[in-house]
Amino acid sequence: MNQKKPSIENLIDETVLLFHRLRVVADELHGGGELAAGKRGVLKGLYEIGPQTVPQMARARPVSRQHIQSLVNPLVEEGYVEFIDNPHHRRSKLVQLTGTGRVFVEKMQLREAEVFQTLSAKFSESRLTQATRTLRSVRECFEKE
């Protein structure tokens, strides 16, 4: 950490470094070749939120609709997700997990839970809560701009 930089810059630098480290850890934990990070993110989002349209998923990330479509199409072919009719929009189908996709996410969460439990033992609950609040506040500042 460089003390000559403003504290916010140090925080952002550490966040970027953590992001890259988490990608490596996730690839090691889940097997980078089995399902890439973007696809795992789509599956996890569908598990947590439920069926969504491709545009809804793109807005939440935020990335292009085309990028999400490029992740969803192979997941359909691999049997992890499926398109279903959308009662609110005739042309924009909903994407939902299949049984296979749901089982995959649950296994993924079990592997992650072991890592999270080991890691959380190294920090007090109050430190983790404060770090979460700080990162959320910084993210919200960027979202308002």
pLDDT in tens, 67-97: 999 999 999 999 999 999 999 988 899 999 9
Read off the pLDDT band of 4 (50, 70, 90): confident
Would the pLDDT of 129 be above 70?
Answer: yes
CA 25 to chain centre: 14
> What per-residue confidence (pLDDT) applies to 10?
96
Rounded to two decimals, the pTM is 0.81
Fold (topology level) of 34-144: Arc Repressor Mutant, subunit A (1.10.10)
Inform me whether the pLDDT recorded for 132 exceeds 60. yes
Return the residue matching tokens 């992890």: 80
Task: Tell whether the model's pLDDT for residue 48 goes beyond 80.
Answer: yes
The answer, yes or no, to whether residue 34 has pLDDT greater than 60, is: no
pLDDT digits (tens, 9 = 90+) for 51-62: 999 999 999 988
Judging by beta carbons within 10 Å of its beta carbon (0-12, 13-18, 19+), is residue 44 exposed, middle or buried?
Answer: middle
Ramachandran area for residue 125 (φ above 0: left; ψ -120 to 50: alpha; else beta): alpha
Residue 130 tokens read as 């404060």
**Residue 31 pLDDT more than 70?**
yes
pLDDT of residue 36: 84
pLDDT score recorded for residue 62 = 85
